[in-house]
């Protein structure tokens, strides 16, 4: 029995990168295959099978995504319990519309129950099925009138994809795939087929169809198919899309089932290029209206497997900086806090704090220290403890002395004295005019102290101004 690629890879204890290297397939592609985002094309199937050392048939062409973590809700069970569980179309939430199809198809069994088919879309076992053939003949897809036909076959002849007048009834008796007077169901904009009722072909509609490289919808993408507005077939990355897929596969390994019937429909012919060759197609109609709504997108998101699970991690906070810890220790000393107090405050030892916690703790400690300090009296200027930061008092004093014009006596560090009227000054020197009318500049470094007569009123005024500040 075929298994998912990821299962086989894990059984072989290989990483994606290892598998990619061995098989020569890009790791991103392998991820997409494993997540079921893309069907595995034949060429890659062979490579992967060779790398894992299994037969090609042992690998599911379209994997079910690996089980997710517990935080992701499981997919709801399919409503149609009659539908076979082996196809992705009825097992997952992506195609959770077993009942839809059933309803649309007149409550017939969902997607077919053919033993010969590996896909839900394969033919039916003599019963009319959703997509399967009818009238007891297994058909690839929508055979008509009891004859094996490829897809929307016509008049009993094996045909490619719905050329001719094939009448099949997918829509509860309505003509479908091939209907449209010789136009292929795939290309015909007028064909009804799946798009019946809205005047557009299921196959060609929207982002189309078989082999759409975008891997989008298959049967006409969008909603029109089967009249279901939320369509299923076309949804997301259906296996039909899958790019290369499907119908053109001469070995019948398509998502549609690859049954013998299917092969009979297509297998002996050159692979029709439904994926690329649109030369015979009519111009694409404007399907703007078929674009998925926001709600559709929401549904898709819910159904889509997680991209790169496990990569979204919460950013880790770096451990506390050494400077933070050092600062904390100093503050804790100021607070006279012991180790137990710290544990109560921080909830953990200092060494285990991260940067954010240390920052919070620093703030807390500083607030506690601020609360302990007595409030400073307002209105009274506090003199800085380090007067090195203030050099204005002497400036104010000397300015007043200079304005008064009173003589001043300067005593130098060697004990000598100098007397004169202050003419000017700088932070480093005084210039005095001596009695001999000579200007002498004395470096302050040479001065021990000086005395001068200062106008008391002016001095008081200076003091009051200082207090006002």
Partner 1 sequence: MSAGDYMRYLRARKGGPTPQEIEEATGVPSGAYRQIEQRYRAIGSEEDLIRLAEYFGVGLDDLTSRIEWSRKALSAALVEAVERDSAIELHLRSGHAVSGKVQWSDLGATLLRRQDGSTVVVQRHIVDRWQLSEA
Structure tokens at 209: 């169809």
Is residue 452 near partner 1 by the rule CB under 8 A? Answer: yes
Q: Is 423 in the site for partner 1 (CB under 8 A)?
A: no
Q: Which of 14, 32, 331, 447 is the binder for partner 1 (CB under 8 A)?
A: 447
- Interface with partner 1, residue 442, by CB under 8 A: no
CA distance 10 to 59: 13
Q: Which of 388, 435, 468, 469 binds partner 1 (CB under 8 A)?
A: 388
Q: Which of 445, 457, 468, 469 binds partner 1 (CB under 8 A)?
A: 445
> Which of 294, 318, 385, 457 forms a contact with partner 1 (CB under 8 A)?
385
Question: Residue 389: how many CB atoms within 10 A of its CB?
Answer: 7
* Contacting partner 1 within 395-414 (CB under 8 A): 397, 411-414
Q: How far is the CB of 413 from partner 1 (least distance, A)?
A: 5
Complex with partner 1: residue 414 or 437, whichever CB lies closer? 414
Interface pick for partner 1 out of 383, 437, 468, 469 (rule CB under 8 A): 383
Span interacting with partner 1, options 20-28, 118-126, 363-371, 389-397, rule CB under 8 A: 389-397
Give, in degrees to the nearest 5, the angle at Cα 423 between 419 and 427.
95
What is the smallest separation between the CB atom of 391 and partner 1, expressed in angstroms? 4
Work out whether 429 is an interface residue with partner 1 (CB under 8 A): no
Comparing CB distances to partner 1, the nearer of 69 and 387 is 387
Asked if 287 touches partner 1 (CB under 8 A), the answer is no
| Residue appearing with tokens 């015979």 | 280
Do residues 409 and 418 lie in contact, with contact meaning Cβ atoms separated by under 8 Å?
yes
Quick note: the x/- pattern for partner 1 over 329-368, rule CB under 8 A, is ----------------------------------------
Residue placing its CB nearer to partner 1 in the complex, 341 or 466:
466
Q: Select from 56, 325, 362, 454 the one that contacts partner 1 (CB under 8 A).
A: 454
If one asks whether residue 457 binds partner 1 (CB under 8 A), the answer comes out as no
By rule CB under 8 A, what count of residues binds partner 1?
Answer: 28
- Least Å from the CB of residue 425 to partner 1: 11
Give the span between the Cα atoms of 159 and 151, in whole angstroms.
Answer: 7
Give, to the nearest 10 degrees, the angle between helix 42-52 and helix 16-23: 110
Q: Which residues bind partner 1 (CB under 8 A)?
A: 383, 385-394, 397, 411-415, 427, 444-452, 454
């Amino acid at each position: 029995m075929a298994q998912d690629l990821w299962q086989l890879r894990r059984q072989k204890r290989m990483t994606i990168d290892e598998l990619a290297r061995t098989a020569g397939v890009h790791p991103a592609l392998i991820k997409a295959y494993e997540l079921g985002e893309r069907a595995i094309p034949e060429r890659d199937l062979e490579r992967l099978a060779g790398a894992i050392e299994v037969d090609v048939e042992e690998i599911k062409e379209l994997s079910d995504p690996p089980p997710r973590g517990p935080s992701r809700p499981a997919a709801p069970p399919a409503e149609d319990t009659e539908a076979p569980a082996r196809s992705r179309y009825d097992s997952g939430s992506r195609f959770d519309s077993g009942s839809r199809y059933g309803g649309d198809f007149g409550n017939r069994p969902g997607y077919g129950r053919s033993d010969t088919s590996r896909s839900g879309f394969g033919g039916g076992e003599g019963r009319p099925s959703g997509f399967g053939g009818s009238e007891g003949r297994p058909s690839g897809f929508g055979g008509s009138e009891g004859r094996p036909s490829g897809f929307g076959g016509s008049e009993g002849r094996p045909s490619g994809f719905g050329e001719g007048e094939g009448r099949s009834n997918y829509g509860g008796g309505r003509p479908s795939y091939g209907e449209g007077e010789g136009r292929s169901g795939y290309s015909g904009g007028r064909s009804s087929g799946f798009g019946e009722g809205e005047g557009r072909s299921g196959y060609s509609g929207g982002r189309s169809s078989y082999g759409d490289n975008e891997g989008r919808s298959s049967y006409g993408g969008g909603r029109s198919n089967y009249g279901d507005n939320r369509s299923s077939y076309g949804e997301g990355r259906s296996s039909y899309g899958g790019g290369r897929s499907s119908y053109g596969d001469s070995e019948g390994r398509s998502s549609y089932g690859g049954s013998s019937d299917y092969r009979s429909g297509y297998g002996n012919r050159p692979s029709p290029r439904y994926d690329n060759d649109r030369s015979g197609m009519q111009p694409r109609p404007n399907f703007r209206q078929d674009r998925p709504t926001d709600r559709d997108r929401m549904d898709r998101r819910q159904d889509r497997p997680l991209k790169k699970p496990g990569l979204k991690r919460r950013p880790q906070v770096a451990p506390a900086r050494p400077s933070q810890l050092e600062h904390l220790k100093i503050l804790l000393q100021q607070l006279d806090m012991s180790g137990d107090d710290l544990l109560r405050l921080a909830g953990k030892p200092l060494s285990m704090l991260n940067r954010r916690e240390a920052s919070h703790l620093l703030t807390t400690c500083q607030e506690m220290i601020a609360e302990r300090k007595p409030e400073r009296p307002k209105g009274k200027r506090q003199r800085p403890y380090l007067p090195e930061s203030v050099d204005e008092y002497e400036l104010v004093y000397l300015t007043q002395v200079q304005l008064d014009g009173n003589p001043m006596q300067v005593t130098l560090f060697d004990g000598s004295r100098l007397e004169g009227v202050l003419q000017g000054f700088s932070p480093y020197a005084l210039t005095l005019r001596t009695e001999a009318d000579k200007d002498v500049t004395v470096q302050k470094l040479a001065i021990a102290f000086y005395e001068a007569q200062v106008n008391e009123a002016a001095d008081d005024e200076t003091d009051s101004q200082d207090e006002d500040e």
